[in-house]
Structure 1
């Protein structure tokens, strides 16, 4: 699994400041000869609402050519790729699982159905939600982050209600339960600077076992996953608050502002100030 590319958005490694990202299929696939090679997203759930055209989906080694319009739900860690008919119309909605813990936490009544990939008919209601998401995502208006989370939750609920009953599917694996529990703890303790041993203890695992499960599922070690989530949170704070860089570093457990800035640049590729300027510039 570690040899399969793992991205945020396809072909990118940058962090997403929003709870979700939405783009037209043509915006990315159209620049890549309408072909997306096999890859995975360790911490993202994707919904593909395909309205017209054609698509061949390759997921976990299986090929599917669904009738359109359709909605394709791809959970985190599921290897997938596409070949689209040129000119295919639709949307790609990418949701950060950590941003919506109520949807993906083990106790959620949606977590089970969203944990398995699936294809369901696309509906007019789904299209309306996607259009609202695209409009909200494009405008830096008041309450934008809250609206994006609300609309993402609405879209996920629409998908989950259309997908097969999870009781009819094979039960989740222990690895999937561990991954879900770890994601939930990351959301809760990202500001506490928990180490791998702290997460392992909370999950009743050894640090070695936790890292082994995460590496097999995502291609990343536990420590790398924790660091990635920490700087994802830093990106959000820079994008959506007016806290200075020093305070953001303190809040995330970095007592040395210079060290925090160096680590941020190592993970994100630019300094915190440059990242904030870039986001604010649109």
Structure 2
């Protein structure tokens, strides 16, 4: 397997930026050029929303396989591996935006940004207001009417709020709070995302947030049911699993990229967390991936 590529848009080098902060097209427009298969890849700074009006197929979101059908709504944040296989009769839309444009559209509700940090796959009922907003968005997307750009931005804001509501409804009650612990927890999540490869101490994260390590542990247990160290380990482990499944990097190189002093220490850490050595996990995990992910 080759390393997972990073694209601006699928099939386009990541060094070629989007001409605009927002790009949209039909599912068929790009997929049929590639035999209706979008192989695993990631985007450096782009969030994508995919909505299936009719037809279906299969999605790969990190290591999860998800069956797609009419009404499927998929949201993929930057940096997350994803791929798709569609049936040739699939009809739907793909919206790509920069992460800065996402923040602009949600400037009035900044507390929703944390809800866009993990890939999601939801089924939207046809009688749901979100389905209506997606249909209206597509109508504007395919039109040449006056004030089209303003209408698209307004409708996209409605779509994003709909996705945030779905994510919020499925989140633990504690995480939905806008309390001080919730804000500290969000800060920790953001710092962890940018610093997990450095093997930072819990005290360093706590100092950046402006609280003690004890307080940080308390916040993490309240919001996620885990200690701060468990969350750090979980993030490191998730990246290790991603690299083992989707790249041909040697175990020792994965270990070094994640801040481990040597491969033996990394292997002991991985086996303790997963119950398998990195090599065994790679072999068994790839055997369970859909065929399009391993070609």
Q: How many residues align?
A: 186
Q: 1:32 aligns with which of 28, 34, 40?
A: 34
1:129-208 matches, cutoff 5 A: 129-138=133-142, 143-163=147-167, 164-167=169-172, 176-177=190-191
Give me the TM-score of the superposition, normalised by structure 2: 0.52
1:241-256 matches, cutoff 5 A: none
Q: 1:112 aligns with which of 111, 114, 138?
A: 114
Shift of 1:7: 1.4
CA distance in 2, matches of 1:120, 1:141: 31
Structure 2: stretches of 5+ with no match in the other structure: 176-184, 195-207, 209-238, 240-295
Shift of 1:69: 1.9
**Shift in alpha-carbon separation, 1:45–1:68, aligned structure 2, 3 A:** same
Shift of 1:155: 1.1
**Is residue 49–residue 122 contact of structure 1 (8 Å, CA) maintained in 2?**
no
CA distance in 1, matches of 2:130, 2:93: 11
Select the structure of larger CA radius of gyration: 2
Give me the TM-score of the superposition, normalised by structure 1: 0.54
Which residue of structure 1 lines up, in the alignment, with residue 244 of structure 2? none
**Is residue 46–residue 93 contact of structure 1 (8 Å, CA) maintained in 2?**
yes
**Shift in alpha-carbon separation, 1:139–1:33, aligned structure 2, 3 A:** same
**Is residue 36–residue 86 contact of structure 2 (8 Å, CA) maintained in 1?**
yes
Structure with more contact order per residue of length (Cα contacts < 8 Å, sep ≥ 6) = 1
Q: Over the residues paired in the alignment, what is the CA RMSD in angstroms?
A: 3.8
Shift of 1:67: 4.6
CA distance in 2, matches of 1:149, 1:177: 30
**Is residue 45–residue 74 contact of structure 1 (8 Å, CA) maintained in 2?**
yes
Shift of 1:102: 4.4
**Is residue 23–residue 134 contact of structure 1 (8 Å, CA) maintained in 2?**
no
Structure 1: stretches of 5+ with no match in the other structure: 181-203, 205-215, 217-282
**Shift in alpha-carbon separation, 1:179–1:149, aligned structure 2, 3 A:** farther
**Is residue 70–residue 122 contact of structure 1 (8 Å, CA) maintained in 2?**
yes
Which residue of structure 2 lines up, in the alignment, with residue 98 of structure 1? 100
**Is residue 55–residue 90 contact of structure 2 (8 Å, CA) maintained in 1?**
yes
Shift of 1:169: 9.8
CA distance in 2, matches of 1:116, 1:136: 28
Which residue of structure 1 lines up, in the alignment, with residue 4 of structure 2? 4
SS of alignment partner, residue 153 of structure 2: helix
SS of alignment partner, residue 60 of structure 2: strand
**Is residue 20–residue 148 contact of structure 1 (8 Å, CA) maintained in 2?**
no
Which residue of structure 1 lines up, in the alignment, with residue 60 of structure 2? 58
**Is residue 38–residue 80 contact of structure 1 (8 Å, CA) maintained in 2?**
yes
